[in-house]
């Protein structure tokens, strides 16, 4: 939002932002005492030592010493903007959430990010991009924490530390920031073949977007929506940019990264400042909520799989427009805390085990990153709905709670807060049956690691396929270990004969034979048809 500079009623004082630390016209200490001098320490004599009693010096330096907070363990590099989501009502029959009611306008804050680089890294690297949206609804906060690629590397959140350890810079030299020259990344994805489809998307032009304004966004997981009658549907969320999907070519990305490492950040802020507000349609693919949670042979709980839009078209349910830059990067972009478990009545999760791990991870990390359990009180994270919780105390507590009985029920505080009933917008989990033996294993329906990579590769135009081959050749060419290159060629052999022969030729290595049939006999007839219609323009 634009800086709020206003005159306090009845006084001549200026208030900036929310007033904290910037009220009044005189420079003061943190406790409000006016200062006459801030450039010279208090010393014993003009040329003598500095005195310990100089509180202003110590306060100023101590605060500065603690200015930095830890960067996010992933998605550290980001840029964000404010805007509004306008619902068109098309989701009213499948979801009771007020934010999807026809004509509802909901304020949003969106943070785009790279995944692997540190806070100060370049924008145009080859990487997945985060696309996280906070909807400040009148029923509480709803976060849609997605990426610009519709599939994920792994099927189970227990592997998340492993893929990130493999993809972050080598522990010894701390280079590089993305996949290039990165033996550990290529080691991981060749040993965990479920990563094949996501890696192929990364090596395609989708891995180097032209602008945050020109990216699709995907919720990836399947969610469960509930309507006013309690009926449920399974859905996947999609953001479709009004500006279309555009990428850089590799050489452009290299030059932009060198000349202007802030290329995407600048582009987003400049566009908004110039009034060229970026916008996206939000859409859903809708699937019946069947007991097996499958659709056309695709396991809807497997986040390494998409459902082709030919089989389940994306239905637009609203439009988001970003029209204001943050006023303060730290206060907003850095301190915003997204969480896939921030849900509102009408939106429920599924048993996708990647999502289930995320539900634990985000709150846990934010307690460290944002210094304790009260970060929901930071202005950018505050809900636009009344909050009446029984959470108390803790580091950075900003609330001054009254009463003596923060528990429910109680008979002391002149009546407890009411418990909401289903018809007064309470969040009620869908009462799903759960049963089974405790096991540590993936279902058989997670076994197919290659057919979707093939579908994606076949959907690309010849020039896009050429870019994929060039990207694999370049990136694998940077690996030091030959066995890692060879193992990755083995994977490419399972995707496409032409692709593996170009990359193997470029690396000067023999072309391996596929270990999996290149046709997809296990696919449903409808899904096989999708492949037959491609490549598209």
Catalytic residues: 75, 147
Handedness of CA 104, 106, 112, 115 (dihedral sign): negative
Q: Which of 365, 377, 445, 501 binds ligand HEM (CB under 6 A)?
A: 365
Q: Which of 55-63, 284-292, 309-317, 351-359 is the region at the interface with ligand HEM (rule: CB under 6 A)?
A: 351-359
457 belongs to an annotated ligand binding site: no
Q: Which of 104, 272, 298, 354 binds ligand HEM (CB under 6 A)?
A: 354
111 belongs to an annotated ligand binding site: yes
H or E element that contains 372: none
Cβ contact 126:167 at 8 Å: no
Q: What is the 3-state secondary structure (H, E, C) of 107-124?
A: EEEEEEEECCCCCCCCCC
Q: Which of 96, 134, 182, 358 binds ligand HEM (CB under 6 A)?
A: 358
Q: Does 300 bind ligand HEM (CB under 6 A)?
A: no
Which of 171, 167, 175 lies closest to 202, judged by CA? 167
Minimum CB–partner distance for residue 192 and ligand HEM (Å): 14
Q: How far apart, in Å, are the Cα atoms of 467 and each of 144, 201, 208, 247, 464?
A: 31, 11, 11, 11, 5
Contact characters 87-116, ligand HEM, x per CB under 6 A = ------------------------x-x---
Q: How far apart, in Å, are the Cα atoms of 311 and each of 244, 289, 490, 517?
A: 22, 16, 30, 24
Q: Please state whether the peptide bond connecting residue 260 to the residue before it is cis, i.e. omega within 30 degrees of 0.
A: no
Minimum CB–partner distance for residue 491 and ligand HEM (Å): 21
Minimum CB–partner distance for residue 78 and ligand HEM (Å): 5
Contact characters 138-157, ligand HEM, x per CB under 6 A = -------xxx----x----x
Minimum CB–partner distance for residue 146 and ligand HEM (Å): 5
266 belongs to an annotated ligand binding site: no
The token pair at 208 is 């180097």
Which of 447, 434, 419, 415 lies closest to 520, judged by CA? 447
Minimum CB–partner distance for residue 79 and ligand HEM (Å): 10
Q: Which of 36-44, 361-369, 376-384, 390-398 is the region at the interface with ligand HEM (rule: CB under 6 A)?
A: 361-369
**Smaller CB separation from ligand HEM, 110 or 344:** 110
Minimum CB–partner distance for residue 72 and ligand HEM (Å): 4
**Smaller CB separation from ligand HEM, 267 or 520:** 267
**Smaller CB separation from ligand HEM, 147 or 211:** 147
Q: Does 220 bind ligand HEM (CB under 6 A)?
A: yes
Minimum CB–partner distance for residue 495 and ligand HEM (Å): 22
Q: Does 130 bind ligand HEM (CB under 6 A)?
A: yes
Return left, alpha or beta for 103; rule: phi > 0 is left, psi -120 to 50 is alpha, else beta.
left
Judged by CB under 6 A, how many residues of this single chain contact ligand HEM? 29
Residues 1-20 that bind ligand HEM (CB under 6 A): none
Handedness of CA 171, 251, 490, 197 (dihedral sign): positive
Residues 227-256 that bind ligand HEM (CB under 6 A): none
The token pair at 317 is 């349910």
Cα separation, 41 vs 362, whole angstroms: 43
Cα separation, 206 vs 223, whole angstroms: 24
Q: Does 261 bind ligand HEM (CB under 6 A)?
A: no
Q: Does 160 bind ligand HEM (CB under 6 A)?
A: yes
Helix (H, G, I), strand (E, B) or coil at 364: helix
Minimum CB–partner distance for residue 237 and ligand HEM (Å): 11
Q: Which of 28-36, 70-78, 118-126, 448-456 is the region at the interface with ligand HEM (rule: CB under 6 A)?
A: 70-78
Cα separation, 210 vs 244, whole angstroms: 11
Closest-approach residue to ligand HEM (CB): 130
Q: Which of 209, 303, 346, 512 binds ligand HEM (CB under 6 A)?
A: 303
Burial of 10 (0-12, 13-18, 19+ CB in 10 A): exposed
Residue 118 CB contacts under 8 Å (≥ 6 apart), including other chains = 71, 76, 77, 177
Cβ contact 33:11 at 8 Å: no
Q: Which of 316-324, 363-371, 405-413, 461-469 is the region at the interface with ligand HEM (rule: CB under 6 A)?
A: 363-371
Q: How far apart, in Å, are the Cα atoms of 365 and each of 73, 372, 383, 395?
A: 8, 10, 20, 15
36 belongs to an annotated ligand binding site: no
**Smaller CB separation from ligand HEM, 72 or 449:** 72
Cα separation, 376 vs 381, whole angstroms: 5
Q: Does 362 bind ligand HEM (CB under 6 A)?
A: yes
Cβ contact 58:64 at 8 Å: no
Q: How far apart, in Å, are the Cα atoms of 507 and each of 139, 378, 482, 487?
A: 56, 51, 10, 13
Q: Does 198 bind ligand HEM (CB under 6 A)?
A: no
Q: How far apart, in Å, are the Cα atoms of 170 and each of 146, 179, 181?
A: 26, 11, 10
Minimum CB–partner distance for residue 125 and ligand HEM (Å): 16
Q: Which of 73, 324, 367, 428 binds ligand HEM (CB under 6 A)?
A: 73
Q: Kindly report the CA angle at 468 between 510 and 456, in degrees rounded to 5?
A: 105
Contact characters 380-419, ligand HEM, x per CB under 6 A = ----------------------------------------
Helix (H, G, I), strand (E, B) or coil at 67: coil
Q: Does 374 bind ligand HEM (CB under 6 A)?
A: no
Binding residues (CB under 6 A) for ligand HEM: these are 72-75, 78, 111, 113, 130, 132, 145-147, 152, 157, 160, 220-221, 303, 336-338, 354, 357-358, 361-362, 365-366, 369
Q: Specify binding-site residues.
A: 72, 111, 160, 358, 362, 369
Q: Which residues are annotated as a binding site for heme?
A: 72, 111, 160, 358, 362, 369
């Amino acid at each position: 939002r634009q800086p709020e500079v206003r005159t306090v009623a009845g006084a001549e004082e200026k208030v900036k932002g929310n007033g904290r630390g910037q009220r009044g016209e005189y420079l003061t200490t943190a406790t409000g005492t006016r200062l006459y001098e801030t450039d010279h320490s208090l010393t014993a004599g003009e040329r003598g030592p500095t005195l310990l009693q100089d509180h202003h010096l110590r306060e100023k330096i101590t605060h500065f010493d603690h200015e930095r907070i830890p960067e996010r363990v992933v998605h550290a590099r980001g840029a964000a903007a404010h805007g509004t989501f306008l619902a068109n009502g098309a989701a009213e029959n499948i979801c009771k959430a007020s934010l999807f009611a026809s004509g509802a306008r909901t304020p949003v804050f969106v943070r785009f990010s790279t995944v692997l680089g540190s806070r100060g890294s370049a924008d145009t690297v080859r990487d997945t991009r985060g696309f996280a949206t906070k909807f400040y609804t009148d029923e509480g906060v709803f976060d849609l924490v997605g990426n610009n690629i519709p599939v994920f590397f792994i099927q189970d959140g227990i592997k998340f530390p492993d893929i990130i350890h493999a993809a972050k810079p080598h522990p010894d030299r701390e280079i590089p920031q993305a996949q290039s020259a990165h033996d550990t990344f290529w080691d991981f994805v060749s040993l965990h073949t479920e990563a094949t489809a996501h890696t192929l998307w990364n090596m395609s032009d989708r891995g180097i977007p032209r602008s945050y304004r020109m990216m699709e966004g995907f919720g990836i997981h399947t969610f469960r929506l509930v309507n006013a009658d309690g009926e449920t549907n399974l859905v996947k969320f999609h953001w479709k940019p009004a500006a279309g999907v555009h990428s850089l070519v590799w050489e452009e990305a290299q030059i932009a990264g060198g000349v202007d490492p802030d290329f995407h950040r600048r582009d987003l802020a400049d566009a908004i400042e110039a009034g060229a507000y970026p916008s996206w349609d939000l859409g859903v693919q809708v699937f019946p909520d069947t007991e097996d949670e499958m659709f056309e042979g695709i396991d809807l709980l497997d986040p390494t799989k998409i459902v082709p839009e030919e089989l389940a078209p994306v239905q637009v349910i609203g439009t988001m427009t970003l029209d204001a830059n943050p006023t303060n990067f730290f206060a907003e972009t850095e301190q915003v805390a997204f969480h896939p478990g921030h849900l509102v009545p009408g939106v429920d999760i599924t048993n996708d085990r990647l999502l289930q791990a995320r539900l634990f991870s985000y709150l846990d990390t934010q307690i460290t990153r944002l210094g304790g359990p009260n970060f929901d009180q930071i202005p950018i994270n505050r809900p636009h709905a009344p909050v009446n919780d029984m959470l108390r105390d803790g580091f950075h507590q900003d609330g001054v709670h009254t009463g003596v009985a923060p528990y429910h029920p109680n008979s002391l505080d002149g009546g407890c807060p009411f418990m909401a009933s289903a018809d007064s917008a309470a969040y009620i989990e869908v009462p799903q049956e759960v049963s089974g033996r405790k096991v540590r294993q993936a279902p058989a329906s997670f076994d197919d690691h290659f057919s979707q990579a093939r579908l994606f590769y076949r959907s690309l135009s010849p020039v896009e396929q050429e870019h994929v081959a060039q990207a694999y050749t370049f990136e694998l060419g940077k690996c030091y270990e030959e066995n890692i290159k060879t193992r990755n060629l083995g994977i490419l052999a399972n995707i496409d004969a032409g692709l593996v022969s170009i990359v193997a030729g470029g690396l000067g290595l023999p072309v391996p034979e596929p270990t999996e049939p290149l046709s997809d006999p296990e696919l449903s007839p409808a899904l096989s048809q999708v492949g037959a219609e491609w490549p598209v323009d």
